[in-house]
Chain A
Amino acid sequence: MLAALLAQANPTGDGLFVAQNIAFGVIAAVMLVSAWRVVTTKNVVHAALYLVIVLAGVAAQFLLLGAEFIGVTQVLVYIGAVIVLFLFGIMLTRAKLGEDDTVAREHRLMAALVGVLLFGVMAWAVVDDYSDTHVDIVSPNTTAMVSDAIFSQYLIPFEVVSMLLLAALIGAIVVARKD
């Protein structure tokens, strides 16, 4: 079955595509298991550490897709900064560091139903529309191409995002400040 899947994903029989598909499968499996642990583990610190695995997996998928700059940015911003923020948040709110039975809500059955139904709808739409579409990474998007696009075509959105970050940082300080 695996061979049939690989043959379907790889009609040209090129060894690089086989390697890409195997890498995708391994990383995707690790990501899904870790993501499931993020939303089910009772230990808050473990949830943050499983989130690190998911975010690193997303960065690896970006590299597989030939998007090197966003892959590196993902590691820098998410694993470097956001996870540290989360760990500070856990520390400052004095969540129980060991097992904590209060993390799961009573109506998680309904939540699981919503998640499964949503996945069914999205998977159906995706399979219906893109069942035979291939992504061929001929050459990666280099950092120079990304910077050219940001600083010419997308200059105004870039400035808006920088103002948004400034406003959010000032807002966070104002909200969290003790007076």
Chain B
Amino acid sequence: MLLNQFLLLAAALFCIGVYGVLARRNAVLVLMSVELILNAVNINFVAFGAFNRTVAGEVFGLFVIAVAAAEVGVGLAMVLLLYRNRKSIDLTEVDLMKG
């Protein structure tokens, strides 16, 4: 297998995730797009780890998974708080600090 094919797949997933973060209005869908981005990074970590024949890539991928789980927990708590206060999770309506 070429290393390239994994890196290109990860790049495509990353860019789809970036598009999702920028284009979506629903806060939960934005968090899902962030998950796409984190998984793209993980593919790169594991691919480079396999390429270098070391477990370091896999270990850091595990750390990324742990951080992603923490991020989803805190992120969804914030979305719930937003819903409780504003009765909506539309991110275009969250413009209290807009100049």
**What is the interface of chain A, defined by CB distance below 8 A to chain B?**
9, 17, 20-21, 24, 28, 31-32, 35-36, 38-39, 44, 47-48, 51, 54-55, 58, 61-62, 64-67, 69-70, 73-74, 77-78, 81-82, 85-86, 88-90, 92-95, 100, 102-105, 107-108, 110-112, 114-116, 118-119, 122-123, 126-127, 130-138, 141, 145-146, 149-150, 154, 157-158, 161-162, 164-165, 167-169, 171-173, 175-176, 178
* Known contacts A48-B32, A171-B77, A58 near B43 by CB under 8 Å: yes
Query: How far is the CB of A48 from the nearest CB of chain B, in Å?
Result: 7
User: What is the size, in residues, of chain B's interface with A at 8 Å between Cβ atoms?
Assistant: 70
> Can you spell out 14 A-B residue pairs with CB atoms less than 8 angstroms apart?
A31-B13, A32-B12, A32-B16, A51-B36, A67-B49, A70-B58, A103-B24, A111-B19, A119-B14, A122-B11, A126-B7, A133-B4, A136-B1, A158-B63
On whether the beta carbons of B1 and A122 are closer than 8 Å, the reply is no
Residues of chain B contacted by A51 (CB below 8 angstroms): 32, 35-36
Flag if B46 contacts A115 (CB, 8 Å): no
Cβ contact within 8 Å between B9 and A61: yes
A146 near B74: Cβ-Cβ < 8 Å: no
Q: Out of A62, A73, A100, A131, which one reaches B4, CB within 8 Å?
A: A131
CB of A59 to closest CB in B, whole Å: 10
A112 touches B1 (CB 8 A): no
User: A146-B59, A168-B74 given as contacts; is B4 within 8 A of A126 (CB)?
Assistant: yes
- Cβ-defined contact, A161 with B43, below 8 A: no
The total number of A-B Cβ pairs within 8 Å is 255
Least CB separation from A112: chain B residue? B19
Within 8 A of A (CB), among B1-21: 1-9, 11-20
B32, A24: Cβ atoms closer than 8 Å: no
